[in-house]
């Protein structure tokens, strides 16, 4: 007993230290076991067998997309009887009969389209004591008046200007030039001209039009030309190498007529 009284503090401290060592050893085993349990739980989640979801039923959606790709087209012109009733005509016997032949500007056919050129030619060279003068042929096929469409000649020297062009350069010997360079006044472009190679530029087009219901043919139509068929007056509103536009003079409605050579 005397020993315990003298050394109880040491004994108590030793017991506490022993307890702490025991707790630490226990914690090592507890942490290892907990870590293993967590790994097993994670593996169970990763390897969990999940039943796949059924495929979506997109039948209605695909059908709607298909309908949008092929929209409904309503024909309100050829077979419609409300907006476009049949046309009736009176015979020589004063009888009303239905007119079966389709008529109107859409029945006109563009038979031909021809380009109209600006043509410049070096016709001749004149020489005298004052120098060389050049005779240039000018043909404006697209001119608005017929009198200006035939070939007209211009007499120019280097630097001269007229209503069509200015002679800006003479290449080679003046009396026998290799080429003349002309500045066109309407566009500002420079045209090269030689004895054997004229300058050609498309300025407009003319067209031949055929209207079979009345067996009418119109030749040489240009922008602004007037035609009449089916009791209606039309004007050529536009014309290019691919299409002619007819404009109804009563309501200004335009009908494009493609050219299919």
Q: Which residues pair with 202 in a beta bridge?
A: 117
H/E stretch holding 246 reads strand 243-248
- Contact (Cβ atoms closer than 8 angstroms) between residue 125 and residue 133: yes
pLDDT confidence of 14, banded at 50, 70, 90?
A: confident
Please give the residue range of the domain that contains residue 236: 107-112+204-258
**Is residue 156 a part of any domain in this protein?**
yes
**Which residue among 155, 179, 202 closes a domain?**
202
248 in the same domain as 176? no
Task: Give 36-64 pLDDT, tens digit per residue.
Answer: 888 888 777 777 666 778 888 888 888 88
209 in the same domain as 252? yes
Alpha-carbon distance 116 to 206, whole Å? 7
The total number of structural domains that make up the chain: 3
- Contact (Cβ atoms closer than 8 angstroms) between residue 243 and residue 258: yes
Task: Give 202-211 pLDDT, tens digit per residue.
Answer: 999 999 999 9
pLDDT for 1 equals 61
**Is residue 247 a part of any domain in this protein?**
yes
How large is the average pLDDT for residues 209-223?
Answer: 92
How large is the average pLDDT for residues 76-104?
Answer: 63
């Amino acid at each position: 007993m005397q020993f315990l009284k003298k050394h109880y503090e040491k004994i108590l401290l030793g017991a506490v230290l022993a307890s702490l060592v025991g707790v630490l050893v226990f914690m090592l085993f507890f942490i290892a076991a907990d870590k293993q349990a967590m790994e097993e739980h994670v593996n169970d989640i990763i390897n969990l067998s999940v039943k796949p979801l059924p495929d979506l039923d997109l039948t209605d959606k695909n059908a709607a997309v298909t309908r949008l790709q092929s929209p409904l087209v309503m024909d309100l012109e050829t077979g419609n009887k409300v907006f476009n009733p049949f046309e009736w005509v009176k015979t020589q016997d004063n009888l009303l009969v239905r007119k079966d032949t389709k008529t109107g500007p859409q029945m006109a056919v563009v038979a031909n389209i021809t380009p109209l050129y600006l043509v410049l030619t070096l016709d001749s060279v004149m020489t005298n004591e004052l120098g060389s003068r050049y005779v240039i042929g000018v043909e404006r096929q697209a001119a608005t008046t017929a009198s200006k469409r035939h070939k007209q000649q211009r007499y120019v020297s280097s630097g001269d200007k007229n209503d069509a062009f200015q002679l800006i350069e003479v290449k080679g010997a003046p009396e026998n030039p290799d080429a003349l360079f002309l500045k066109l006044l309407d566009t500002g472009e420079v045209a090269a001209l030689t004895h054997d190679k004229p300058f050609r530029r498309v300025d407009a087009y003319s067209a031949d039009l055929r209207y079979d219901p009345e067996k009418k043919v119109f030749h040489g139509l240009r922008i602004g030309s007037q035609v009449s068929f089916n009791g209606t007056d039309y004007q050529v509103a536009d014309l290019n190498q691919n299409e002619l536009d007819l404009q109804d003079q009563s309501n200004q409605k335009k009908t494009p007529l493609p050219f299919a050579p």
